[in-house]
Structure 1
Amino acid sequence: MLLKSRLLCTAALGLLLLAQTANASSPEEDTTKTSCIQRAQWVSPKDLSLLSPTALLKKAAAQKVVLLGEFHPDEVHHRWQLQTLTQLYAHNPNMVLGFEMFPRWTQPILDRWVRGELSEKEFLKQTNWDTSWKYDADMYLPLFHFARTNRLPMIALNVHRDLIRKVAQDGWDVIPDYQREGIETPRAAHPDYIKSLKEVFSQHSHMDEEEKESEDRFNNFVQSQLTWDGAMAQMIAKTQKAGGNPLVVGIMGSGHLTNGYGVPHQLKGLGLNATVLLPWTLGWDCTELVDGYADAVFGLEEMEPKGQDKKPILGVRIEASADKKGVLIEEIVEDSVAEKAGLKKGDLILTAADLATNEPKDLIRIIQQQAHGTWLPLEIQRNGRPLTVVAKFPQLGQ
């Protein structure tokens, strides 16, 4: 999968539950693909010139908004975010942290966490982490503890996924005001963003060809992405302009940030410019680094294979079905257990190991109990037909 496709999917599809590391490169590929950036370097995408870390971060900390991207399943990206946060904080402790990971209704819980009133377990349970965001909480907890330790406000930037789905299905205009969660109509998309979203839209295998050719369906899809971007941008702007002139640092998927199409574009419409800093994994295709990709990128090693303490992962993003009878696969990670088993977007998983999977948490629990090196039979429904698929979880180190 190309880097561009991966980052677009981050924004347009929310990426993938229980995702695996993708895009491992051979030694020969590493020699050519990493020539533009090395580990621990800050580089300007404009001309691939090296940047001074001190000067870059001091200047960024003096701005009103800094946006830090991530590839959600990559724990190395989250370590980089924490490192960058600490450096920004050293220059400007008047900081507020905004997180894509939390919908607006969780704001009182975030406030209680920062005040020290909740344990980790209580915090994750009350925010419905396992069903709302679904990625490994251990990757994010150091960021949450950083906010708590320094008493930095945490802001919930996102909206409930039901709103995004409704917009994707019916369009923004038909959503009544009381269901919009306080969001104003987002700014019109940049033309190049529409082209990028068209590419993502065409890859939706759960839709038939007639749906993919539907202009109305595509327009609704674009509006759903603008709702997502606009919601986060509007909350960032509201926070920054509320008083005290804080540095608002947004933590979110890189697909919302690359080339300035998503959240940065929405922020400009609200009168705010953002400094965009992105992680860059060695081995990614450097032809994607173009002027405007970000203000700066930082070179990082690839994520190491999971250790013995890590649970098996299937490599899918799932959502509950409308009738709560099975979970729907919305996306699949390249080269994952799911892909190798033959699972596809649009498949409905009915059972796993003969246990009903009526909700996402059911499948998550079953997978987390699976041992490395074992097989997991899945009863699925594809295009109305029942099928049996066997997911083969590799031994550790394979």
Structure 2
Amino acid sequence: MKKILLSSLILMMSYSFSFGAVYNQDNRIPVPYVLKTIKDFENNANTYEKALMRKNILHKLSIYGVNKIPDINDEVIGFIFHMIKLNIGEKKFQAGLNKMADLKDMPSLTWLQILRCFEDVDADSFYDAYFSKNPLIKLTVTNAEYISEKGNYYISFTLLRKYGDKIVNIPYVIEYDDKKEYGRLQSSIDREETFKVPVNTGAVKLVLDPNYHVIRMLNDNEKSPVIADILNKENILYIDKHYDSAVYSVFKNLKFVYDDEVKFSDLENYDVIIGSYDNKIAKFFADKRISSTDNSEYFIFKNPLNKDKYILIANNIHAGSIHLLENYAFNQELIFKNDKLISKSNMQTDMGITVLEHEKDVIIDVKKLDTFQDMMKKAAVYKVIFAGESHNEYSHHANQLALIEYLNNSKKKTAIAMEMVQYKYLNVVNDFVKGRITEKEMLDGIDYYNNWSFDYSLYAPIFRYARDNNIDIIPLNIEREITSKVYQGQIDNLTEEQKLALPERMRIINNEYENKIKSIFKMHADSTNKFTDFFISQNIWDEIMAKHLADYRKANPDTSIVVICGNGHAGKNSGIPLRYKRLTGEDSFVIMQGEPINHEETNADVYIYPEEIKSKGTPKIGVVIAANDKENGIVKVESVTKKSPADKAGIKNGDVIVKCGYHDIKNIGSLKYALYEKGYNGILECEIKRGKNILNKSIKLFEYDDSSEMDEMIKKHIEKMKKK
């Protein structure tokens, strides 16, 4: 009888309210309307399509708030009652609905009266949490780790919940390769709680609320930037060649800037509209290409200079199409032809909040392992081969040289592209390869010791092989001064010459790359610089190296190129190869050395784990050089490590090193080269200026461990410079 009555009541009435009226505590709400709303929302509630619908509702709520979107009132009300079902369970929830249906003599009730129909629901608290204000809960996950305790395995994490009722059940899923397990966590409001979810061994992933049963804010990885993110904003920066009245008719309180006058710093505090794909800012950040000159195209992404803001590029604006944006506001990209929508798209996003993903074990079948010779044969098919490295590993450089030798001996025209050399020194390395200058002149010419902090003995065999075999060296790097200025937030203060060195087109919309750069930035925990500036400087670095590589490849189509760079730059999905492919359309072969393999990321074609090659490298004498004298043409000793070669030779603080062997010492580079050339167990004859006197000192170059003392000296030196 109750079920018949419930169905009858649902069919009786269908009401629509403004959101303010629906949420008014004293307003009376028709029971049939509420029952129908709940039934519609709960119908097929566990399907993937309904999960996407709920996610879309949450996205709308997160942008507009409840009072601005009366067209989804029913869905929001259904969602709020869905939270009751989540907390009290199916049986008690159904009993509450039946109790509402029994109130046939009172077809209209207040929200509090409706809530009191449900057992175990604190009506006043629930109303205050979800009806009297924006109902979106905020979940923050930290300290996630995969742990073992007493023979059992867990994913442990801290959860902080803001807003919502006192207690909320949070659904979760544990994903394995062959199955999924579901459960719920009971979360208290405004408390950091540590949860330990039992899991099996092996690959496992824990996701909170994967099907959107909780009315909550979406995390960034769950939502694509959409045009709605900027559509109803005010105080927007509008950049274009000329005013367009159509833009002003849709967007309010625009601040107009001509596109040849805009500065990067102008973007930091604004949402931005750019009136053309051909604008320098649009090309620098997004590198969008028009699909057709007849089309109106709109593309939105997060402002790289302020992740709380957005940039909308509107290309070939038509009055008709721009007024249709509201109709398709929850898309990242829209393309119109003759004011009719022909394409819409969003970036792929996560379903739920990923707490932790414990990766699959990497299984290597030793019977199928390639030999180094097999690997080189595979690589030789490609015109561009990235040979990644950890900079200080001699074995990695030995493998790079072996690959270069293989290509050269195969009668392939070969070139070597190097991260270690700045592009402005192209003529210097050309002169070295052609035998017109010596090795030391080359190192001085490219300012190796100031621009690259790693021991030259690591790279010397590659440089010499290039010289002895007349192999082109392609400098890839951009001037350090440019990336340093960008990192310090001074991109607008670059000289005109430096601005010309920046890439004209760049694409920085890559979450994987951004996450990788964030992990690097966290290593500089004491940095006072902003991540956004660091991120842009890294993008410029990789982009310009890809451009120099692509330019050489275009000019030398028959040449095979081995790219010598750090593993961090060599990743297929996030480094130079991805940008090189965007610029040329050409795939490359990527070798990573010593890097962990990730099943989910095909970041390389081959991973090599070489046996360590031990090398003493360039001798050290145990001195710290005064920083303020490096540019004055003198090398002045600031401190001397105890029991070091310099200490035993009688070098003292304040001494100026004038000459070592036959090398005049005018900078740290010339001192390092003199040490490199002499090698261990030799005796380096030096001239030292102490006060007005010139002293001769014989420094015996022996091995010693100065790491702990040098670390302490460097710390003191840094503190001293900070005070200055």
Please state which band the TM-score falls in when normalised by the shorter chain.
0.5 to 0.7
Cα distance in 1 for partners of 2:718, 2:670 equals 15
Structure 1's 385 and 174: CA in aligned 2 closer, same or farther, altered over 3 A?
A: closer
**Deviation of residue 92 (structure 1)?**
5.1
Cα deviation digits, residues 152-196 of structure 1 (max 9, x gap): 111111111101101112265664652135332422242111011
Written as runs of structure 1 = structure 2, the 5 A alignment for 1:274-293 is 274-280=588-594, 286=596, 288=598, 291-293=601-603
Q: 1:148 aligns with which of 454, 458, 467?
A: 467
Partner residue, 1:73 = 392
**Deviation of residue 81 (structure 1)?**
0.7
Cα distance in 1 for partners of 2:671, 2:513 equals 33
Cα distance in 1 for partners of 2:535, 2:720 equals 25
Written as runs of structure 1 = structure 2, the 5 A alignment for 1:352-367 is 352-353=639-640, 354-355=653-654, 361=668
Structure 1's 244 and 373: CA in aligned 2 closer, same or farther, altered over 3 A?
A: closer
Alpha-carbon contact 2:489-2:533 (below 8 Å) kept: yes
Alpha-carbon contact 2:630-2:668 (below 8 Å) kept: no
Partner residue, 1:297 = 607
Partner residue, 1:134 = 453
Higher strand share: 2
Partner residue, 2:619 = 311
Structure 1 unaligned blocks of 5 or more: 1-32, 42-48, 212-216, 328-349, 387-398
Alpha-carbon contact 1:64-1:248 (below 8 Å) kept: yes
Cα distance in 1 for partners of 2:386, 2:465 equals 17
Written as runs of structure 1 = structure 2, the 5 A alignment for 1:41-80 is 50-51=369-370, 53-80=372-399
Structure 1's 313 and 162: CA in aligned 2 closer, same or farther, altered over 3 A?
A: farther
**Deviation of residue 126 (structure 1)?**
2.0
Q: 1:220 aligns with which of 533, 550, 561?
A: 533
By relative contact order (CA 8 Å, sep 6+), the higher-ranking structure is: 1
Cα distance in 2 for partners of 1:182, 1:373 equals 42
Which letter maps to 1:265?
L
Structure 1's 177 and 292: CA in aligned 2 closer, same or farther, altered over 3 A?
A: farther
**Deviation of residue 265 (structure 1)?**
1.6
**Deviation of residue 351 (structure 1)?**
3.4
Cα deviation digits, residues 111-143 of structure 1 (max 9, x gap): 111111122222222222221213221221211
**Deviation of residue 380 (structure 1)?**
2.3
**Deviation of residue 239 (structure 1)?**
0.2
Structure 2 unaligned blocks of 5 or more: 1-360, 632-636, 641-652, 657-665, 676-698
Cα distance in 1 for partners of 2:510, 2:384 equals 20
Q: Does 1:382 align with 2:701?
A: no
Which letter maps to 1:207?
S
SS of 2:591's equivalent in the other structure is strand
Structure 1's 174 and 363: CA in aligned 2 closer, same or farther, altered over 3 A?
A: same
- Bigger Rg over Cα: 2
Q: Does 1:161 align with 2:480?
A: yes
**Deviation of residue 325 (structure 1)?**
7.4
SS of 1:179's equivalent in the other structure is helix
Cα distance in 1 for partners of 2:473, 2:670 equals 30
**Deviation of residue 383 (structure 1)?**
8.8
Alpha-carbon contact 1:172-1:224 (below 8 Å) kept: no
* Higher mean displacement: 92-101 or 182-191: 182-191
SS of 1:245's equivalent in the other structure is coil
Cα distance in 2 for partners of 1:118, 1:160 equals 22
Cα deviation digits, residues 177-217 of structure 1 (max 9, x gap): 52135332422242111011112212213325xx5xxxxx2
* Higher mean displacement: 149-158 or 186-195: 186-195
Cα distance in 2 for partners of 1:181, 1:102 equals 19
Partner residue, 2:404 = 85
Cα deviation digits, residues 328-363 of structure 1 (max 9, x gap): xxxxxxxxxxxxxxxxxxxxxx93233499x98399
**Deviation of residue 303 (structure 1)?**
3.6
Query: When the two structures are superposed, what TM-score results if normalisation uses the length of structure 2?
Result: 0.38
Alpha-carbon contact 1:89-1:95 (below 8 Å) kept: yes
Partner residue, 1:94 = 413
Partner residue, 1:394 = none
Q: Does 1:247 align with 2:560?
A: yes
Cα distance in 1 for partners of 2:429, 2:391 equals 20
Which letter maps to 2:602?
G
**Deviation of residue 55 (structure 1)?**
4.8
Give the share of equivalent positions with the same residue, in percent.
25
Cα distance in 1 for partners of 2:502, 2:581 equals 16
Equivalences, count: 306
Q: Does 1:187 align with 2:526?
A: no
Partner residue, 2:524 = 204
Cα distance in 2 for partners of 1:264, 1:132 equals 23
Cα distance in 1 for partners of 2:621, 2:482 equals 28
Alpha-carbon contact 1:65-1:248 (below 8 Å) kept: yes
Which letter maps to 1:352?
S
SS of 1:178's equivalent in the other structure is helix
SS of 2:717's equivalent in the other structure is strand
Which letter maps to 1:361?
I
Structure 1's 181 and 116: CA in aligned 2 closer, same or farther, altered over 3 A?
A: farther
Cα distance in 2 for partners of 1:155, 1:268 equals 18
**Deviation of residue 99 (structure 1)?**
0.9
Q: Does 1:273 align with 2:587?
A: yes
Which letter maps to 1:311?
P
Which letter maps to 1:164?
T
Structure 1's 361 and 206: CA in aligned 2 closer, same or farther, altered over 3 A?
A: farther
Cα distance in 2 for partners of 1:301, 1:150 equals 27
Alpha-carbon contact 2:597-2:607 (below 8 Å) kept: no
SS of 1:96's equivalent in the other structure is strand
Cα deviation digits, residues 85-105 of structure 1 (max 9, x gap): 112323452112111111122
**Deviation of residue 35 (structure 1)?**
8.2
Cα distance in 2 for partners of 1:381, 1:290 equals 41
Alpha-carbon contact 1:183-1:234 (below 8 Å) kept: no
Partner residue, 1:390 = none
**Deviation of residue 37 (structure 1)?**
8.7
**Deviation of residue 278 (structure 1)?**
2.1
